[in-house]
Structure 1
Amino acid sequence: MHRSFLMFLLVVQALGDGDLCQTCTCTTSDDAHTLTTNCTNRGLHHVPGEWPGKNVTTIRAMFSGNDIPTLEPLALTDAVVEIVLSNCNIQYLRPELFAATKNIKFADLSHNLLLAEEISADKFKGPYNSTSYEPIAIEHLNLAYNKIHSLGKNVFEHMPNLKILNLEGNDFRVIDIHTQLAISSIRKLQSLNLANNELTEMIVTAIEHHENLTELNLSQNLLDFVPAILPTIGKSLEILILDDNPIIEFVSETFSGLPNVIELSVNNLTKLKYVNANTFASMPKLKKLSLSNNVLLKEIDREAFGTNQSIEEFYLNKNDLFRIDYKLLPWSKLHVFEFNDNPLDCSCDLYNISKALPRDITRVENGPYCMDPRSERYTFVYNLKSDICLVKSKYQTQKEFIQYHFSMVKVALIILSVVVMMIAVVAAVLGFIRYRKYQRNMSYPYSQTILYDPVHTTN
C-alpha cells in the first residue's frame, strides 16, 4: 500500500474518539442500513477516527458548529457517506481527505475559512491503486461562503461524478482562466451556483460545453444585463436565477436561445423599470416566473409573453405597478398568482383578471388591493364589481393627458419646423438675389464713373 495512505491510516487511528455515539446523537434506520449521527455544536476539534456501526451501508454525519481548524482525512468505511462540516472554522485541508471514504456522495464545507490554495486536486484523491489514484464518488460539493477567489484547473480531476457545485459567497470577482478550465472539466455538471461573488460578467468558456447543466444561479452579483452567453447552454438549462442584480432592461433578445427554461427568478433587480414586448416569448416552456421586489418596475408590456406560453406560477409582489393588462396572460391557466403590495389603480383589467383566475387560487384578505379612483380608498381586488369598467383609472387619465400634451407638442413642433423652413427658404432666396447682383456689379468694365468739370478745362 502506498506510504502516504499508510500514514493517513495511522493519523486516523490516533484521532479515535472511542464510541462517537457517547458524544453525539446516533440513530439507525429501521432496516439498520443507514446511520445518522448528529455532532452539531458539540465542541469537537477533529473528525472521528472511527465510524460507529459495522454493517451500515449509508452514513449521514453532521458536524456543523464545531471548531476544527484543520480537517483531517475521514475514517475508513465502505459505506456511502454524506457529511456536513459547515461553520467549523476550517482553514486547512489535509491531503487525501476522502481516500478512505471513496464512496462519499455529499460533502458540505461551506461557511468556513478556506482559501484558494487549500482547494487543490491532491485534497480530493481517492485511494492509491498500484499505479494511480482511484476516483471518489462525490456528486455534490458545497464550498459556499469561504474565501476562494480562483480554482486550480485540475482541482476536480478525481471527481468524475460531480453533478452539483456550489461556489456561492466566495471572492470570484472574475472567472479567471484557471477557474474556467476547472468548471469546464466537470462533464456531468447539472447545477452551478455562483451567487454573491460580485461578478460583472459570465465567461463563455466556463459553461459552453456543459450539455447537462440544468440549473444556473447568478444572483447577488453585479450584472447590468442578462449574460449573452446563456444560449450556449440553452438546450439543457431549465432553472435560471438572476435575483439581486442591477439589470437595466428586459427586451425581446434578453432570453433568446433558452427554449427549455421552466423556472425563471428575477427578483430584487434594483434598476429594472420596464418589461418590454416579447421579453419572455422565447421561453415557451416557462412555468414559474418570479418577478417581485423590483422597486422601480412600473410597466409590463401587454405583449411580454408569447401566444404559446402557459405560465402556471406567477409572482408579482412588491413592484411599482399601476396596472396589469388583462391581455398579458391566459389567467385561467394559472395555479398560483401573487401581486400584493403594488400601487395598483382599480380598473376593468383587474376586474377581468380576478374573474378569469381559477377559484382555487388563494384569496387572502391582506391583499391584493387597488386604489378606487372614485373614493380614493383601497379596495380588495377580488371584491371589484363590473361598474369599475365605467370608470377611468388614474393610469388611463394620466396616459390620455400625456398623449394629449404629446400631440399638442408634436403639432407645435411641426408648425415651428414649417415656419423655420419657410424662413430658411426666404433667406436663401434673398441671399441668392443679393449674391447675383453683387456678381453683376463686379463684372462691369469700369469700376468707377469718370466725371468732367468744364470749368477747369484748359485752352
Structure 2
Amino acid sequence: MYRFCLLILLCLCAAFTKCDNDNNKQKLPLCGTCTCVFDNDQLPAKVNCKDDVTRLLQAESTWINPLNNQSYEYSELTLTNQEIMFLNFTFPTSKLTYLSITNSEVYRIVNSPFKNLENMVTLILSNNGLDLLMPDSFKGLYMEERYMPLRSLKELRLDHNNLHTLNMNLFEHTTDLEILDLSYNPLKVIDKHTTIAIDSLPFLKELYLGYTQIKTLPDQIMHTPIQLSILDLSGNPIEEIPETLGESHNLTTLYLNDTGFINITKNSGFPEMPSLKNLYLCNLRNLERIESESLSGLSGLQELHICNNIKLTHIDDFAIAKINEHGGATWPMIKKLNLFDNKLGYIDSDFLSRWDLLTYLNINDNPWTCECENQWLIEDLMPTYKKINPENANSVKCGAPIEMNGEHFIDLYERQYKMRCLDIYGAKPEQDAFMLVGVLIGVLIALPAILFIIFAYQRRWFGLFNMCDNSPAAYTRRFYSSTPRDEDF
C-alpha cells in the first residue's frame, strides 16, 4: 500500500512538473514568433528566428520576466535574415551561451551590444557586411581585475564579411578567445595592425584565414599564440610554405588546400615543425611534383592528405623522409594516408616506413601503371588495404598500360598476377601484334607473286618483258619474225 501511494505521488509530481514546463515554454516571448527547441523537453530553449524580429529583440520584456524580474531561459539564439544594418541596441541581461547573427546586412556594431551577455561562449557574425570593427564592439561589464571583458567568450566567427584590416586593440575585451574565424574576408595582406590584434590573443587555439587573398604570413605572427593548434590557410594564392610556420609552438593541424603551389621542393618545403600531426594538401590545381625531403621537417606527422590534385604526377620516394649525413633516413609514423584522385602512376614502397601501421588508406582514382615496379601494390599493399577499407580496396584500378586499363587490383591480387616490366626505351611490344600480322600476310602474298613474275619472265609470256630485254638475241628479234608454219613456198 505504501509503495502504491508513493508511485501515485511520483506520477502526480511528474505531471505537475510537465505542466509547469509546458506553461513556461508557452510564456517565452520569442517562442511565439520563432522556432524553439528543447533538449529532453526541458528548459532552457534554443531559439531560431528566420523572420525579422528586430523590434522584439530590443524590448526588455522579451528577455526579462516581469513577474519575478528574472531572465527568461534561453540558451541559444540564432538570427537570420534580419534587417539590422546598425547593431546599436544592447541585449538585456540573459543566460545565452550561443548567439548567431548571420545574413542580416550588419555592417556597423556600436554601443557595446553584447556587454550584458556574460555567459556567452560563442558569437557568430558571419555573412554580413562588416567592414570596420572597433574595440567597443566587444566591450563587456566592469571587472576589477580585467578591462571590461566579455568574460565567457571563447569563439568568435567573423567570416564572410568585408574586413580589410583589424583594429590593433580589437580584442582587448576578449583576450580569452580560443577560436577566431576571419576566412572569406578580403584582407589581401596581414598588416601590422592585424598582426598585433591576433598576437594579443595568448590563448588562441584555432585560427581560420582561408580565402582571405593573402600570399604569405608575416614574420613572428606564430610566435605569440603559443597554444595555437589549428591553422587554416586554404584558398589563398600562397606559392611557397611561409617560413614563419617554423616559429609555431603547438601547431597540430595545418590546412593548405586550394593554394598556389606548383612544385614543393626541399628548399621551398616545410620548416622544422615537430608538433604538426595533420597536413592537408588537397585541391591544388597547379601542383605537379612533391620532391625529396620537402616534408622532412614534419617528424611528428600522423595524417597526410594529398588529394584531388589534377596535375600531381610525382611524389618522391623520400618526400617525407629525413636523410641524415650518413645516408640513412627516418620517417614519421603515418597512421592515415589519403592520396585520392591525383594523377599518380607510381608510388614507392619506401614512401612510408610502416604501411602495416595505417588505420586509414585511400589511393583510389589514380591512373596507376600496372607493371613490375608497382608489383608491391598488388602483393604487399592490397592485403593491408583490404583489411583497412575493403570497399575502397575493391575499386582500385589500373590506368596503364593500355591492355591493363580498368583491371582491378583486387582481382590481380587474388590471381597472384605477375606484372611485366615495361621496355626501358618505352617500347610497347604488346601493341605491335597487328603490325606483325600485317607483315606476315604481306610476305605470304608477295613471295608467290615474285616467283610467278620470275617464271613468267623466263617463259616470256608477256611482250612487256621483251621491251626490257637488251640482249643481242632480243635485238635481232625486233627485226625478224619466224615464218608461219602454214606458209607455202
Q: With the length of structure 1 as denominator, give the TM-score of the two structures.
A: 0.76
Cα 1:392–1:104 shift into 2, 3 Å = same
Identity %: 26
In the other structure, the counterpart of 1:375 is 403
Tell me, in whole angstroms, the C-alpha distance in 2 between the residues paired with 1:43 and 1:282. Answer: 52
Match of 1:43 in 2: 52
**Equivalent of 2:277 in 259, 262, 271:** 262
**Cα offset, 1:188, TM superposition:** 0.9
1:123 matches 2:137: yes
| Structure 2 partner of 1:164 | 179
Query: Taking structure 1 as reference, are residues 146 and 355 closer, same or farther at Cα in structure 2, changes over 3 Å only?
Result: same
> 1:316 offset after TM fit, Å?
1.0
Residues 157-188 of structure 1, C-alpha deviations (whole Å, 9 max, x = no match): 00121111100000110111111111111111
Residue of 145, 153, 168 corresponding to 1:138: 153
2:420 corresponding residue in structure 1: 391
Cα distance, 1:239–1:364 mapped onto 2, change above 3 Å? closer
Native 8 Å contact 1:166 1:194 kept in 2: yes
Mapped to 2, the partners of 1:367 and 1:120 lie a distance apart of 55
Aligned residue among 235, 241, 244 for 1:226: 241
Match of 1:38, SS? Answer: strand
Say whether the 8 Å CA contact 2:362–2:392 is kept in structure 1: no
Q: 1:382 to 1:133 in 2, by over 3 A?
A: same
Q: Secondary structure at the match of 2:368?
A: coil
Identify which of 336, 344, 361 aligns with 1:313: 336
SS at match of 1:229: helix
Describe the shift of the 1:277–1:20 C-alpha distance in structure 2 as closer, same or farther (beyond 3 A): same
* TM-superposition CA deviations, 1:229-253 (whole Å, max 9, x none): 10111x3100100111111322335
Q: Distance in 1 between matches of 2:356 and 2:64?
A: 56
Q: Provide closer, same or farther for how the CA distance between residues 188 and 373 of structure 1 changes in structure 2, counting only shifts above 3 A.
A: same
Specify the alignment match of 1:68 in structure 2: 84
Q: Are the aligned partners of 2:106 and 2:129 in contact in 1 as well (CA < 8 Å)?
A: yes
Match of 1:357 in 2: 385
Deviations 1:391-417 (A, max 9, x none): 1258x76499xxxxxxxxxxxxxxxxx
1:175-212 per-residue CA deviation (whole Å, 9 max, x = no partner) reads 11111111111111111111101111110243321111
Matches within 5 A, 1:396-411: 398=426
CA distance in 1, matches of 2:264, 2:28: 60
Two-structure CA RMSD over aligned residues (Å): 2.8
Decide which moves more: 245-254 or 296-305.
245-254
Tell me the distance in 2 between the aligned counterparts of 1:223 and 1:257.
19
Q: Which residue of 1 aligns with 2:12?
A: none
Please say which structure displays the higher CA radius of gyration. 2
Q: CA, structure 1 residues 51+379, in 2 after alignment: closer, same or farther (shift >3 Å)?
A: farther
> What CA distance in whole angstroms lies between the structure 2 residues aligned with 1:374 and 1:387?
20
Query: What is the one-letter code of the residue matched to 1:261?
Result: L
Give how far 1:322 is off. 1.0
* TM-superposed deviation, 1:31: 8.6
Distance 2:94 2:335 in 1: 45
Q: CA deviation at 1:133?
A: 5.2
Partners in 1 of 2:106 and 2:52 — Cα distance?
14
Aligned residues: 379
**Taking structure 1 as reference, are residues 267 and 399 closer, same or farther at Cα in structure 2, changes over 3 Å only?**
farther
**Which segment is superposed worse, 42-51 or 166-175?**
42-51
Judge conservation of contact 1:20–1:52 (CA < 8 Å) in 2: no
Letter in 1 for 2:377: L
1:73 is displaced (CA, Å) by: 3.8
The CA deviation at 1:129 is 6.2
Contact 2:285-2:309 at 8 Å conserved across structures: yes
In structure 1, give the amino acid aligned to 2:161: N
Supply the AA of the counterpart residue of 1:115: D
In 2, the alpha carbon distance for the partners of 1:249 and 1:56 equals 58
Q: Letter of the 1:220 partner, please give it.
A: G
1:175 to 180, 184, 190: 190
Q: Separation in 1 of the partners of 2:361 and 2:426?
A: 27
Shift of 1:282: 2.4
1:295 aligns to what?
310
User: Could you say which residue in structure 2 is the equivalent of 1:342?
Assistant: 366
SS in 1 for 2:264: coil
How far did residue 57 of structure 1 move? 6.9
CA shift for structure 1 position 131: 12
In structure 2, list runs of 5 or more residues that go unmatched.
1-26, 322-329, 429-489
- Partners of 1:140 and 1:399 in 2: CA distance: 61
| Aligned residue in 1 for 2:102 | 86
Residue 375 of structure 2 aligns to which amino acid in structure 1?
C
Q: What is aligned with 2:205?
A: 190
Residue 18 of structure 1: how far off its partner (Å): 8.3
SS at match of 1:243: coil
What is the distance in 2 between the residues matched to 1:78 and 1:377? 65
Q: Which runs of 5+ in 1 are unaligned?
A: 1-16, 401-459
Contact 2:290 2:319 in 1 (8 A): yes
The CA deviation at 1:216 is: 0.7
Report which stretch shifted further, 238-247 or 272-281. Answer: 272-281
Residue 27 of structure 1 corresponds to 37
Contact 1:201 1:223 in 2 (8 A): yes
Contact 1:217 1:241 in 2 (8 A): yes
Q: CA deviation at 1:332?
A: 1.4
Contact 1:323 1:344 in 2 (8 A): yes
What residue number does 1:149 align with?
A: 164
Question: Which one-letter code corresponds to 2:345 in the other structure?
Answer: F
C-alpha contact 2:154 2:176 (8 A) present in aligned 1: yes
- Call closer, same or farther: CA 1:326–1:132 in 2, change over 3 Å: closer
1:46/1:70 contact within 8 Å kept = no
Distance 2:277 2:205 in 1: 15
Distance 1:150 1:55, change over 3 A: closer
- Distance in 2 of aligned mates of 1:366 and 1:341: 12
1:277 aligns with 2:292: yes
* Corresponding residue SS for 2:369: coil
Separation in 1 of the partners of 2:375 and 2:276?
Answer: 32
Deviation at 1:33, TM superposition (A): 5.4
Query: 2:226 & 2:187 partners in 1: Cα distance?
Result: 23
